[in-house]
Amino acid sequence: MKSGSNVIRYVGIAEAADKVRHADRILVVGCSGGGKSTLSQKIARRFGLVYISIDRDVLWLPGWMQRERGEQRRIIEKLILQDRWVMDGTNPSTFDIRVPRSDIVIWVRMPRLVCVWGILSRAAKHWGRTRPDMAPGCPEKVDWEFFRFVWTWEQKFAQRVLAGLAEHAGEKPVLMLKSRREMRELLDLVGARA
């Protein structure tokens, strides 16, 4: 994809698996409910990487209150200095500092209905409790605003992700996963499926 004069260097699953096996820092982005947290945690466990959740570690405070943007950025600036991590979270406004520090970017770009199913099944599993990849004091819920966010994510945010990757990825490899089958294939190739 072109944005200005920059081109995103997409890679296939086999090449990405090789990059993941040797990566110190992996950025996983995509719509809520697509499976990026699960994927990130499996990769982190498999390779002994620190798991960083933007939702848990940066964005949310108890009671579903968002941190101020400047504070979010300061936290991210510190987190990316760690030697080895998998960071799960999209927010293209911080791609300028996160993408260049990453060895590979994985974009979990699932179809809308897969993401909707993901948020609904996650809500059923954790309803009223805080899931492990969310900030303390933020019990699982699905309200109309969040449902609409997921339903319109591709239309409203995909172009921002594309533009951010085109601007900041340079020669970094970018893997786009568009199905659960592709995600399972990646996890099988890196030995992280369990």
The tens digit of pLDDT for each residue in 106-154 reads: 999 999 999 999 999 998 998 889 898 899 999 998 899 999 999 999 9
What region does 59 belong to: left with phi over 0, alpha with psi -120 to 50, or beta? alpha
Class of domain 2-189: alpha beta
30: which strand partners? 108
The pairing of strands 2-3 and 6-7 is: antiparallel
Q: Check if the beta carbon of residue 9 is closer than 8 Å to that of residue 174.
A: yes
Segments making up each domain of the chain, as ranges: 2-189
Lowest mean pLDDT: which of 3-17, 34-48, 51-65, 74-88?
3-17
Tens of pLDDT, residue by residue over 43-76, are 999 999 999 999 999 999 999 999 999 999 999 9
DSSP secondary structure of 110-150: --HHHHHHHHHHHHHHHBTS--TTS-TT--B---HHHHHHH
Q: CA–CA separation, 66 vs 50, rounded Å?
A: 23
